[in-house]
Amino acid sequence: MSNLHEECAVFGIYGHQTEDVARTVYYGLYALQHRGQESCGIVVDDDGLFTTYKDMGLVSQVFNKQNLASLGQGQAAIGHCRYGTTGMGDRNNAQPIVVNHHKGRMAIAHNGNLVNAFELRQELELQGSIFHTTSDTEVIAYMITKERIDCESIEEAVNRAMNKIEGAYSLVIMSPAKMLAVRDPYGFRPLCYGKRDDGTFIVASETCALDAVGAKFVRDIEPGEIVVFDGDEVRSIKDHCETKPHKICIFEYLYFARPDSVIEGKSVHEARVRAGSLLAMEHPVEADVVVGVPDSGLDAAIGYSKQSGIPYGMGFIKNKYIGRTFIAPGQKNREDKVRIKLNAIAETMRGKRVVLVDDSIVRGTTITRIVRLVRNAGAKEVHVRAAAPPFTDPCYYGTDVDSQENLIACQHPLDKIAEVIGADSVGYLYVDHLNMVIGTQPGEGFCASCFGEPYPTVIPTGQKDRFEGKISKSEKKQKKSDAENYDMYLRND
């Protein structure tokens, strides 16, 4: 139950003309709602006529029978649900984005974050491009349509654009006749496709969405791959495959993805159980009950309980009708949501030594509140265990941790964090053991830069909200210092 902003979810269907594609996308986005709760949208393609509906809010709030029906029928549709990591949280930045260009139309949905979006946007603006959003998804759309001028096909334009965009991107792109699934060469974010018995193809961020619409999993989109759905044909372009090291975000397994999803052949649920087992071996403690923080801490708590032999107990009742706590803007609102979101079951914890297992500790505010709930329920001791290493560095690939300013592990020594959050002890998963969570070789196959590991790409200049004209605290301080120095120079000249 960390305070992380998530990235986004993409979904696409490509099938028959009579298919009620909008409703299928609705169900798919509903299954992917955990990845983004800020806005959502659907674009339907009916023989080249694109119909769009998108707005702020949850999938169930934005769409109803009337506006789903207004999208009509078609042979293809794509959808998106969002939490913005680049771009302000408003309707203009809701996706998918529809672009009209000289060779037709294109709709695009994007999960991830570019590291060179700011430079590319400046370059495009100097060439006369006018942007209507502040998200880097529009930068990708412009790069593709720019390449489309000299290309015979949409897939060729995408292939060329991939030479220039860098960072994390899992894309679903729709032209009047085709649908494309695209994944960056590092494979930061997951993307897969499946097929239904009626012959329609489904593309989704996670396999749980395939299950939700009755599609059978076919395979993951490979890092760097472009998969083209064209009529009954499925083609693959692999010019960018194996050009970069494989670096899927480890936090997809620890927090972002739904437990029932399978990413690159690895069960998310089993990965979290293994993380809990590792925690029990790394940070044992004498206790009476193991309690997990809903939802993504539950699997790790089961693993901790099995490995340690300490009984597992249900410690909290969760209000299922409120979104993840980080969605609320502002710290005060976030704390209010924690208060109404969870209620402790006192019978489980009264008079006991409790091991409290959560998926991670980011800023420390949420876990502090939860520890207080456990104390108020009568626990004799509270030992916090985090199924992720300490967050020490910003993420540039789709997780909204863009500075060290609010990371508790950067503000306090590890041996003091227990005191800060009100626990008797704190234990984090060892970063050197992350590979054991997903069964890879040490340091291979995943990105853990937010935990202090090397960044796979160049680090972007500026910060992710530069498109809104904002500057960081350090930049403000430097600007103030420069102004003061210049003023001093004028006075002394």
- Active site positions, annotated: 8
Phi then psi dihedrals of residue 352, to 5 deg: -115, 160
Q: Do residues 453 and 444 touch, judged by C-beta distance below 8 A?
A: no
Q: Which residues are 13's β-sheet partners?
A: 77, 202
Rg of the chain taking only CA atoms, in angstroms: 23
Q: Which residues are 182's β-sheet partners?
A: 171, 226
Please tell me whether residue 251 adopts helix, strand or coil conformation.
Answer: helix
Q: Do residues 191 and 80 touch, judged by C-beta distance below 8 A?
A: no
Q: Which residues are 425's β-sheet partners?
A: 383
Q: What letter represents residue 332's amino acid? A: K
CB within 8 A of 460, min separation 6: which ones? 115, 116, 117, 118, 167, 396
CA atoms in the 13 A half-sphere facing the CB of 389: 18
Q: Using CA atoms, how far apart are residues 472 and 53, in angstroms rounded to an integer?
A: 34
Q: Do residues 135 and 7 touch, judged by C-beta distance below 8 A?
A: no
Q: Using CA atoms, how far apart are residues 355 and 424, in angstroms rounded to an integer?
A: 10
Tracing tokens 């227990």 back to the chain, one arrives at 418
Checking phi first, is residue 156 left (phi over 0); if not, alpha (psi -120 to 50) or beta?
alpha
Report CA-CA distances (Å) from 147 to 118, 150, 455: 19, 6, 29
Q: Using CA atoms, how far apart are residues 144 and 114, in angstroms rounded to an integer?
A: 14
